[in-house]
Structure formats: structure tokens, C-alpha cells
């Protein structure tokens, strides 16, 4: 059994704060500050450039990839970290398209994170006018997987509502139609059990600053199925994905397997912070995390619905159909969220009217969920959100 009291003690959460936004940016692991400081002072400071070999910096992208892989059902050697998620989406979709040279359509849904759609739109524009990004309603995806679709690109858990797609069923249907799959796990990795290998997924990408707690700007990750990893051709063919980067050949030859999805110099300071976060994940079992997450979200929904009738559930009611977040609709949701934040309950807001609450069992427990509902109830019943200072929109919502 995962010891959640022990994992909670490993985070440096500000006194009096109930943090329900780990689905957006995870909190600071206590060990990260010393770890990063040691890396700066003892490794960068003392080893200088020899740190790439002596401190093992060059192996961090794949080492961290394997540790993330355990949480998402990926075999060792199939995940690598680096770059940002938007870039990894580009890489995965570009490589997936090359596997289907006779098809020109990328299928996605309107619940996808906009950056994924923007990135594919830009990629397709560079490929030529015959290419098409087809965006359908989430519930219509299965019906649109047809034999002209090259790539199915979906985010498994909807960032606004927490609604989950059935990765296994959609991947099977895609394969039956000769379509390659790219899954975005931004709201899945560390939130729900994922079985990339069991689902026979082709490509997956995700970020490490949300549920994995790697810190702001932490690197993304990419998975390529081992059956494809030695065949795919990376569109972002940077020197560190080359078979022999230090041969400095003028021609690009892809490295073996997942190594070819590396692009350029890895962000070692961020990766060091992420490695402190992964130490906590090494103590956790995803089945325990999921069971506790469901308890927390069920409790939160029941209590909020009982005491705040103005809020309308925007997440699936069936816990098996939602990720590890709960969203409520409220016309003045932005102001209500600001009022909550002012009282130490941190969630976030997504336009036009969604209040999001992330439940992260590594450091959130039942008392936190109950206390958050008490504060929310006070705000709603006494209209405490209806104050001018809560209505001024900030740059990041
Ligand atoms: C589902 C999803 N995809 C892509 C992104 C973009 O990630 P990045 O800003 O790291 O490129 C996000 C960011 O939150 C996201 O939630």
C-alpha cells in the first residue's frame, strides 16, 4: 500500500493552503531545493563541462523517461524526456504522418487542448494544401475514424471537464482502419493508471509539471512503441537524436530506438528537480493513487452538490469516466475562484465558466477536500465572490 501520509510529508506546501491545482502545476518536493542546489554548486560549479559525463547529465533524459514509463505502462527504453509538450506533439504527429504517406488527414476533437490543434495546424500547413486537420466533437470521434485518417491525435483526459476517452477501444478501432495513434497524457500521467503497452498505443506525449510535480517549465516526455521506434523518422532531427552526436557528421542518421526522439541539449536543472519529484513517485502505486483519487473526487462532488446548488457539475458523474479533476460550471466562476484563492483554497478557472479542482492523492487527503468544501460553501452562500477585486482578470487564470 502506498503510504500517503509519508508522500504528503515530502512536499513543501505553504501553511494554511489547500492546493487543488496540481493538475496544472504540482507543488515543490521538499528534496528538490537541496538537490538542485547540489547540482548547481557541486556539479555545474565544480565539474563544469565534465558534468555531462561525470554527473551523468547526458543519461538523464532516458533515465527519467524510464521512471515515468513505470507510471504509464511503458516498457523500459521507450520514453525520453525533453523539450516542451507542444514540441513533443509536433514530433509525434510528424513521425506518425510519415508512417501513412498515402493519407492526409489528422483527426482530433474539440475537447483537445488548443496548443495540440495549433501545432498540428502549423505542421500541416508546412506539408502542403492537401493536408487536413479534422476536428469533431469528443463523442463523435469513433464514428470519424475512417480509412482516410492517417493519424488520430487525442488528449486522453479533457483539460476542462476531466472526461476520459477510452484509449484501448479507440486505439483498436484506429488500427483496424490503418490509422496511427498519438495520445496526449498531460492530464493522465500520475493522475490515472495508463497502460500504453497493453493498449498497443503507437505514440504518446505528456508533461511533467502537472501531476508529476517536476516544477514550472519541467520537460515533456514522448513514448514510441518499441515495434516502431527503430523505423520512425524524427522531423525534429537534432544532433542529440543522431546515432553518433559527437562524430559531428554532416548527414543525419537517427539514433537507436527512443534516443532518436531527443532533439538538443537537455535542461539539466529542471531535470534535477524532476528527479526529486520522481523519488516520491517511486514510493507510489498507481492503483492506490487511483482508488484514493476516486474517493476524494466522489466526496468533493457529493458535498459541493449538497451545499452549493448554484454550481453545476461539468465533469462526468461516473468516476470511471473522469480523470483526477472535478470541474463545476458557474457564470461567475472566475470571481468565485479568486475568492477561494484569497482564502487559501487554490484551484483554477478555464474560460468561459469552468472552476477546476485537481485531486492529487500524494499530498491531498479527505480533510483537505472537506475543508475546501466548507470554504467554498461559505463563499457561495454568502456571495463573498461578488466583490470588485475578484473580477479583475489576471494574465494567467
Ligand atoms: C493537454 C495539453 N497539451 C499540451 C499542453 C501544452 O504544453 P506545453 O506548454 O508544455 O507545451 C498542455 C498544457 O497545459 C496541455 O494541458
The CB of 86 under 6 Å from ligand 1? The reply is yes
C-alpha of residue 382 to centroid of ligand 1, in Å = 36
Sign of the four-CA dihedral 208, 79, 269, 239? negative
Set 21, 322, 356, 368: catalytic member: 356
Q: Is 24 in the pocket of ligand 1 (CB under 6 A)?
A: no
Helices in 318-360 by DSSP H: which ranges?
333-342
Angle at 235 between CA 180 and CA 239, to 5 degrees: 135
Per the CB < 8 A criterion, the answer to whether 259 and 232 are in contact is no
Q: Which of 88, 103, 163, 210 is catalytic?
A: 210
What sign does the dihedral 100-97-165-259 (CA atoms) show?
Answer: positive
pLDDT tens, position by position, for the chain (397 residues)?
Answer: 999 999 999 999 999 999 999 999 999 999 999 999 999 999 999 999 999 999 999 999 999 999 999 999 999 999 999 999 999 999 999 999 999 999 999 999 999 999 999 999 999 999 999 999 999 999 999 999 999 999 999 999 999 999 999 999 999 999 999 999 999 999 999 999 999 999 999 999 999 999 999 999 999 999 999 999 999 999 999 999 999 999 999 999 999 999 999 999 999 999 999 999 999 999 999 999 999 999 999 999 999 999 999 999 999 999 999 999 999 999 999 999 999 999 999 999 999 999 999 999 999 999 999 999 999 999 999 999 999 999 998 888 7
Q: What is the DSSP string of 159-204?
A: TTT-BB--HHHHHHHHHHTT-EEEEE-TTTTTTS---TTTTT-SEE
What's the CA-to-centroid distance between 57 and ligand 1, angstroms? 25
Q: Is 115 in the pocket of ligand 1 (CB under 6 A)?
A: yes
Bridge partners, residue 327, by sequence:
356
And the C-alpha cell for 279? 523519488
Alpha helices in the chain (DSSP H): 4-9, 30-38, 46-47, 51-54, 60-71, 85-98, 114-127, 167-176, 226-229, 268-281, 286-307, 333-342, 366-381
CB distance 160 to ligand 1 below 6 Å? no
Whether ligand 1 lies within 6 angstroms of the CB of 113 is answered as yes
Degrees, nearest 5: CA angle 370-298-13:
45
Catalytic residue among 4, 11, 209, 334: 209
Measured distance CA(195)–CA(168) in Å, rounded: 9
Task: State residue 21's pLDDT score.
Answer: 98
Residue 204 Cα to ligand 1 midpoint, Å, equals 13
Query: Is 105 buried (19+), middle (13-18) or exposed (0-12) by CB count in 10 A?
Result: buried
Q: What is the pLDDT of residue 397?
A: 75
Question: Cα(285)–Cα(292) distance, rounded to whole angstroms?
Answer: 11
Cβ-based neighbours of 217, under 8 Å, separated by 6 or more: 209, 267, 270
> 206 CA to middle of ligand 1, Å?
8
User: Ligand 1, residues 82, 108, 113: which to mutate, most atoms within 8 A of Cβ?
Assistant: 113
Q: Which three cell numbers stand for residue 327?
A: 470541474
* 24, 82, 85, best to mutate for ligand 1 pocket (most atoms within 8 Å of CB): 85
Residue owning the nearest CA to atom 7 of ligand 1: 85
| pLDDT at res. 282 | 97
CA–CA separation, 296 vs 162, rounded Å?
14
**Rounded to the nearest whole angstrom, what is the distance from the C-alpha of residue 55 to the centroid of ligand 1?**
30
Annotation says 118 is catalytic: no
3-state class (DSSP) for residue 357:
strand
Q: Is 337 in the pocket of ligand 1 (CB under 6 A)?
A: no
CA dihedral 231, 119, 221, 267 (to 10 degrees): 110
Task: Specify whether the CB–CB gap between 281 and 67 falls below 8 A.
Answer: yes
Q: Which of 83, 110, 115, 205 to mutate to test the pocket of ligand 1 (most atoms within 8 A of CB)?
A: 115
| Long-range contacts at 246-249 (CB < 8 A, ≥ 24 apart) | none
The reply to whether 113 belongs to the active site is yes
Q: Exactly one of 184, 202, 332, 368 is catalytic; which is it?
A: 184
Ligand 1 centre distance from Cα of residue 377 (Å) = 31
Computed over its alpha carbons, how large is the radius of gyration of the chain? 22
- The pLDDT value recorded for residue 394 is 84
- Asked whether 206 and 188 are in contact (CB, 8 A), the reply is yes
Pairwise CA distance, residues 291 & 212, whole Å:
17
* Cβ-contact 174, 6 below 8 angstroms: no
Our answer to whether residue 329 is catalytic in this structure is: no
* Ligand 1 centroid from CA 86, angstroms: 6
Q: Is 209 an active-site residue?
A: yes
Amino acid at each position: 500500500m502506498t503510504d500517503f501520509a509519508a508522500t504528503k510529508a515530502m512536499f513543501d506546501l505553504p501553511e494554511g493552503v489547500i492546493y487543488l491545482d496540481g493538475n496544472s502545476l504540482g507543488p515543490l518536493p521538499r528534496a528538490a531545493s537541496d538537490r538542485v542546489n547540489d547540482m548547481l554548486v557541486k556539479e555545474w560549479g565544480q565539474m563544469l563541462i565534465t558534468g555531462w559525463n561525470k554527473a551523468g547529465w547526458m543519461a538523464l533524459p532516458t533515465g527519467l523517461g524510464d521512471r515515468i514509463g513505470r507510471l504509464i505502462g511503458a516498457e523500459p527504453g521507450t520514453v525520453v524526456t525533453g523539450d516542451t509538450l507542444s514540441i513533443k506533439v509536433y514530433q509525434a504527429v510528424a513521425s506518425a504522418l510519415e508512417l501513412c504517406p498515402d493519407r492526409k488527414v489528422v483527426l482530433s476533437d474539440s475537447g483537445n487542448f488548443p496548443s495540440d490543434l495549433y501545432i498540428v495546424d502549423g505542421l500541416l500547413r508546412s506539408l502542403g494544401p492537401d493536408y487536413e486537420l479534422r476536428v469533431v466533437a469528443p463523442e463523435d470521434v469513433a464514428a470519424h475514424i475512417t480509412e482516410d485518417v492517417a493519424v488520430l491525435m487525442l488528449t486522453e483526459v479533457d483539460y476542462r471537464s476531466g472526461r476520459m476517452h477510452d484509449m484501448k477501444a479507440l486505439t483498436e478501432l484506429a488500427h483496424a482502419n490503418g490509422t496511427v495513434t498519438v495520445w496526449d497524457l498531460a492530464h493522465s500521467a500520475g493522475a490515472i493508471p495508463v497502460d500504453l503497452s497493453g493498449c498497443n498505443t503507437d505514440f504518446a506525449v505528456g508533461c511533467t509539471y502537472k501531476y508529476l510535480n517536476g516544477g514550472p517549465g519541467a520537460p515533456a516526455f514522448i513514448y514510441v512503441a518499441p515495434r516502431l521506434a527503430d523505423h520512425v523518422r524524427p522531423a525534429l532531427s537534432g544532433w542529440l537524436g543522431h546515432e553518433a552526436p559527437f562524430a559531428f557528421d554532416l548527414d543525419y542518421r537517427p539514433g537507436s530506438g527512443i534516443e532518436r526522439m531527443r532533439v538538443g541539449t537537455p535542461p539539466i536543472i529542471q531535470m534535477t528537480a524532476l528527479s526529486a519529484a520522481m523519488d516520491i513517485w517511486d514510493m507510489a502505486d498507481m492503483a492506490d493513487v487511483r482508488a484514493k483519487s476516486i474517493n476524494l473526487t466522489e466526496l468533493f462532488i457529493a458535498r459541493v452538490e449538497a451545499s452549493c446548488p448554484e454550481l453545476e457539475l461539468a465533469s462526468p458523474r461516473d468516476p470511471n469516466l473522469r480523470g483526477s479533476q472535478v470541474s463545476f460550471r458557474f457564470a461567475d466562476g472566475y470571481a468565485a475562484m479568486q475568492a477561494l484563492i484569497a482564502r487559501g483554497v487554490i484551484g483554477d478557472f478555464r474560460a468561459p465558466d469552468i472552476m477546476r479542482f485537481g485531486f492529487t492523492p500524494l499530498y491531498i487527503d479527505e480533510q483537505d477536500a472537506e475543508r475546501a468544501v466548507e470554504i467554498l460553501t461559505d463563499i457561495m452562500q454568502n456571495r463573498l465572490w461578488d466583490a470588485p477585486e475578484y473580477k479583475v482578470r489576471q494574465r494567467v487564470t
